[in-house]
């Protein structure tokens, strides 16, 4: 396989993730040092700033911080700073800017403005040479290595793991829940191959896909929706399972494919009624996660069980493979989706 073949880059970068995740888990001293600084400053609350896949990682971090640290968390609307010039009082506030490339001008401006307003700022990025790193008080390198495919895969999971290790270290944890994350990632990719292939056969003719989840896995639903849209040009939408039942379920029918993230834990358990409801409306339901085998779904992709807060790092892996092979089956090139660029510059 050469880089000229459609999907070669995305395939290679998906396959690099077990080794990359193991390395991040083993070398967490830099993350722990940043965590110690944050713990000393005892922030009143936290704000997260991000775009695209990084925004989904930030939503994952929102759940981590609220549940594991007991701090209120908000998501920054960058345009309030970049377009409207808002400058709220951010004294004693933790602001974490997440950007895989570190090249987003709006996140740079948000970070600089937050620091000027008294926040303790942290940049989480894959690019140590970026302006974002120098703009923040503290910086964490996600250590994913260069990513060439337009669709983010390894940078996304590296960001998730980095954010988990950061939050876990702030609460005094030692990262024990992810000590074997590399092995579990390898098992996930190896053992899900046939199930992914079956799902591709069923989903390749779909035009409308809904991704849904509860809790920590809501980030996985959002990322799944984005991956399927940008690689296969599908009409996709992501919902909290609770929100899906509060109205949008009325639009679900036999022409709808539903991807439900269902890892073991409270969030996954809450998805049973959601998947049952969409299945009764005729949807083609695919359950992904460590609790998939117990879900009312026609298709399942199993993932090794972990602590619930760690599950999003693993459950997205087979969905990346699904997006890759769906794109190829539909005649696309997931390495270079039409009209997309690796870094999107907004303000």
Q: 300: domain CATH number?
A: 3.40.50.10490
User: What is the model's pLDDT at position 339?
Assistant: 52
Residue 200 lies in a domain: yes
From CA 53, how far away is CA 246, in angstroms rounded?
26
Shared domain for 319 and 190, answered yes or no, is yes
Q: What is the CA angle 320-322-327, rounded to 5?
A: 100
Shared domain for 228 and 309, answered yes or no, is yes
Shared domain for 241 and 143, answered yes or no, is no
Shared domain for 168 and 236, answered yes or no, is no
Taking each helix axis as running N to C, give the angle between helix 17-26 and helix 181-191, from 0 to 180 degrees, rounded to the nearest 10. Answer: 170
- What single-letter DSSP state applies at residue 153? S
Shared domain for 98 and 77, answered yes or no, is yes
Residue 335 lies in a domain: no
Report the predicted TM-score, pTM, of the whole model to 2 decimal places.
Answer: 0.95
Shared domain for 21 and 132, answered yes or no, is yes
Domain final position from 115, 150, 178: 178
CB neighbour list of residue 227: distance below 8 Å, 6 or more residues apart = 151, 319, 320, 323
Shared domain for 210 and 315, answered yes or no, is yes
Shared domain for 155 and 13, answered yes or no, is yes
Give pLDDT tens digits for 188-233.
999 999 999 999 999 998 889 999 999 999 999 999 999 999 999 9
Mean pLDDT of the 288-303 span? 97
Domain final position from 143, 178, 213: 178
User: What is the span of the domain harbouring residue 32?
Assistant: 8-178
Mean pLDDT of the 8-16 span? 97
Residue 81 lies in a domain: yes
Residue 337 lies in a domain: no
Shared domain for 275 and 313, answered yes or no, is yes
Count of domains forming the chain: 2
Shared domain for 127 and 36, answered yes or no, is yes
Whether the predicted pLDDT of 56 surpasses 90: yes
């Amino acid at each position: 396989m050469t880089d000229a073949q459609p999907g070669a880059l995305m395939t290679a970068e998906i396959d690099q993730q077990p080794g990359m995740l193991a390395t991040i888990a083993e070398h967490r001293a830099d993350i722990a040092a940043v965590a110690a600084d944050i713990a000393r400053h005892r922030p009143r609350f936290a704000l997260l700033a991000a775009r695209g896949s990084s925004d989904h990682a930030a939503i994952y971090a929102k759940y981590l911080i609220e549940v594991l640290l007991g701090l209120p968390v908000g998501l920054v609307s960058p345009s309030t700073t970049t377009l409207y010039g808002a400058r709220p009082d951010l004294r004693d506030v933790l602001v974490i800017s997440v950007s895989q490339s570190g090249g987003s001008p709006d996140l740079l401006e948000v970070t600089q403005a937050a620091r000027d307003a008294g926040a303790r700022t942290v940049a989480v990025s894959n690019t140590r040479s970026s302006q974002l790193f120098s703009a923040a008080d503290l910086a964490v390198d996600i250590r994913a290595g260069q990513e060439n495919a337009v669709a983010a895969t390894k940078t996304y999971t590296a960001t998730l793991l980095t954010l988990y290790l950061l939050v876990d270290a702030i609460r005094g944890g030692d990262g024990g829940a992810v000590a074997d994350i590399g092995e579990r990632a390898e098992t996930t990719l190896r053992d899900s191959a046939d199930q992914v292939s079956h799902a591709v056969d069923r989903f390749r003719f779909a035009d409308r896909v809904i991704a849904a989840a509860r809790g920590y896995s809501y980030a996985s639903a959002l990322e799944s929706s984005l991956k399927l849209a940008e690689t296969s040009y599908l009409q996709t939408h992501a919902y909290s399972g609770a929100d899906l039942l509060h109205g949008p379920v009325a639009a679900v029918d036999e022409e709808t494919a539903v991807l439900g993230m269902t890892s073991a834990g409270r969030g996954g358990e809450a998805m049973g009624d959601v998947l049952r409801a969409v299945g009764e409306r005729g949807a083609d339901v695919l359950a992904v996660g460590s609790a998939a085998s117990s879900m009312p779904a026609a298709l399942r992709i199993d993932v090794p069980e972990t602590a619930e807060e760690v599950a999003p790092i693993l459950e997205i892996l087979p969905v990346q493979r699904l997006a890759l092979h769906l794109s190829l089956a539909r005649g696309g090139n997931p390495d270079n989706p039409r009209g997309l660029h690796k870094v999107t510059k907004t303000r």
